[in-house]
Amino acid sequence: MSIGLAASLSGAFFQATNYAFTQKCQQTSGYSSAQILLASHAAMGLIAALPFIGLNAWRYLDPSHFVALIWINLPYAIAQLLIAIAIQKSDVSIVSPLLALKIPTITILMSFMGQPMPAWHQLVAIVAILLMAYLLSRRAGRLDVLPACLVIGASLGYAQSDIEITRYTQDFVGLSALMQVALTVSINYVFCGFFAGLGMLSGCQPLSLVYAARWVALSWFVAVCLLLVGFRLSGVLEANVAQSLRGVFGILLSMLFLNKIVKGQGDWHFKLLMGTGMTIAVFFYFL
């Protein structure tokens, strides 16, 4: 197994872990999704300050980076908020697999922007993903549209943020791929943490919430580092297929970490089947 693929798989696991920690924090802290989002990013700013100082990251900063960081983080923040609301309205075991909707969402968007129509096997994969998302949303006997719509909106935000952060990483010319990732992550999340901290202060939020959201922050920070390494070292194909496994990881973590398995296992078997099926469909899309 390549280092890039291993990093992507680990990143997918930590991303699913982040969704589980987010749901747990929502259930135990009593704070809103927006409050937890601000607190977790303030915590990530503190975490990112360590490599920021250790790498002397300020030496690589340029005034033009401010605009780039805005374009990275505005769609990202909207996506994170939509995912947090989706988890609150639904469940990690539903939201995590539904993130495979990112593939058809981006494909349809790119088609409207003048890109060539997808190949036949990509269309088959898209139909399969949409069908499994529909079946997953109907797990309770009715179509639960809101989480799927929120995930689609989040997918657009994540896609735009991914494009911008990849461009930003490439600004650090002449450095190794790992150094580019380290600088990008540390600068970006110090930037996020600064504005999240201002948001908490302006809203008079208790600083104890930063501590309450510490696991949400740490799991996402680790996930982003690993996923960026995966994209830089293994390429889009392997990284996207590996990242789609967060759906399966999310179901397993929800079963174990959140103790959700209380009314028999039939529903969980179905969710696991749908999550695995979506991963296979994503792999088929990139063939």
pLDDT score recorded for residue 261 = 46
Amino acid at 80: Q
**Residue 67, burial from CB neighbour count under 10 angstroms (0-12, 13-18, 19+):** exposed
pLDDT score recorded for residue 172 = 87
pLDDT score recorded for residue 74 = 94
Radius of gyration of the chain (CA): 19
pTM (global) more than 0.85: no
Residues 6+ apart with CB under 8 A from 115: none
Among 43-47, 220-224, 248-252, where is mean pLDDT lowest? Answer: 248-252
Is the pLDDT assigned to residue 260 strictly greater than 80?
Answer: no
Beta carbons within 10 angstroms of residue 134's beta carbon: 13
pLDDT interval class at 216 (50, 70, 90): very high
Is the pLDDT assigned to residue 7 strictly greater than 70?
Answer: yes
Q: What is the mean pLDDT of residues 106-130?
A: 80
pLDDT interval class at 62 (50, 70, 90): confident
Q: What is the mean pLDDT of residues 139-157?
A: 75
Is the pLDDT assigned to residue 152 strictly greater than 60?
Answer: yes
- The CA distance from 151 to 85, in Å, is 10
| In contact, 25 and 218? CB cutoff 8 Å | no
Residues, the chain, total? 287
Which two three-digit tokens encode residue 109? 């968007």
pLDDT interval class at 228 (50, 70, 90): confident
